[in-house]
Structures are given as C-alpha cells and as structure tokens.
Structure 1
C-alpha cells in the first residue's frame, strides 16, 4: 500500500514521506496507515480489507493547491476521503492539513 500512495502522489509539488520527515522543505507530505479492518467475509475468511490512511500536508504558506491536487490524485487512485481538518503547528512554524482516506482491496 505504501508504494501505491507514493506512486499516486509522485506528481505533487511536495515531497512525500512515510511516517515522518525531518528535512527543510517548505511544503511536504507525511502519510501513515492508522487502521485496517475486514470489509467482506465469506466462509469465515476475510475476502476484502479496508485500509485507513492519514495524509498530512505541512507548509510554511498557502497549501490550498497542494491539498486540492492531493485529493484529486487520491480519488483517481480509488481512495475515499473520510475526514479533513486544518491547524497551525507552532512547534514547526507550519500549517498542517490533515486528511484521512480509506481504500478497499482484496485480501
């Protein structure tokens, strides 16, 4: 799944990182799986799994275009947005847009 997210977001105007980032880019994306659950069972076996990912956009300035493009790319790849919120993270001196997505696939 990590490869799917990274290839999906490869055309963004921001670098994309799994779990954390400690560089100096003015805008970057960090993603991580936060849950997975069965979405379909047959004969007591899991047939399909739903994966849940959090994708955070951090930026020193206006991240609106990056977020808009990220949502478009994730949607085109089959991800469904389930949550979105924004905040300012004073420890990083960055704005943060938190997005959560789900993705369903065969187990």
Structure 2
C-alpha cells in the first residue's frame, strides 16, 4: 500500500523511481523504502494510526538540488511530513547521494 503511494507520488518526475534497488544503470535515479512501520496513536489498547517512516534516496553524478526540490514538493503535496535530509558522497562509486526522510500517518 505505502510503496504504491510513494511510487505514484513520484511518478511525474522524469527519472526512474524504484523500491529499494534501481533497475537503471543511468544516473540520476531514485530509490525508496520504509525503514520503520510503527503505531503512532493508540486508543483503548488498539492501534489507531500507523506511522510509515520512509527514506527516499537520490543517486546522481551531478548536482541534484532541483531534483530534491521536486521530490520534496511532491511528497509534501501528498501529505507526507518532512523529517530530515542529509547529503552523502559515495567515494567508491563517486556518486552523490541525497537522503530524504518522511513520515506518513495512516488511520487503520
């Protein structure tokens, strides 16, 4: 459910988007996964709201600033909550890596 929502949220971005691993050998591309699926609200010992903590990774050989802005705009428009972002550089592959973490709360 959440994977298809993420995929459809990022569908209008003109680069490949896939779950966990890329099928593309060309840069840039985006991968995503859920790193935590946890109750965020209980009532009478029952889970009322589930929190899906999502990580989106942008992989690029060049500046990805405008791409990250586009991802953020799409995710926020789909009611995902921004948690944190950070930049990495993968020395072994010489790839720039943007990590973007979001939360989506869904009623059960």
The TM-score, its normalising length taken from structure 1, stands at: 0.94
Partner of 2:99: 98
C-alpha RMSD over aligned residues:
1.0
Unmatched 5+ stretches in structure 1: none
Q: What pairs up with 1:10-25 in 2 under 5 angstroms?
A: 10-25=11-26
1:76 aligns with 2:80: no
How many residues are treated as equivalent by the alignment?
A: 107
Distance, in Å, in 2 between the alignment partners of 1:71 and 1:22 is 23
What's the TM-score once normalised by structure 2's chain length? Answer: 0.94
**Does the 8 Å CA contact 1:13/1:66 hold for their aligned counterparts?**
no
Say if 2:87 and 2:98, in contact at 8 Å, map to a contact too: yes
Q: Does the 8 A contact of 1:14 with 1:66 survive in 2?
A: no
Divergent runs of 4+, >6 A = none
Aligned to 2:50: 49
Distance in 2 (alpha carbons) for counterparts of 1:92 and 1:5: 27
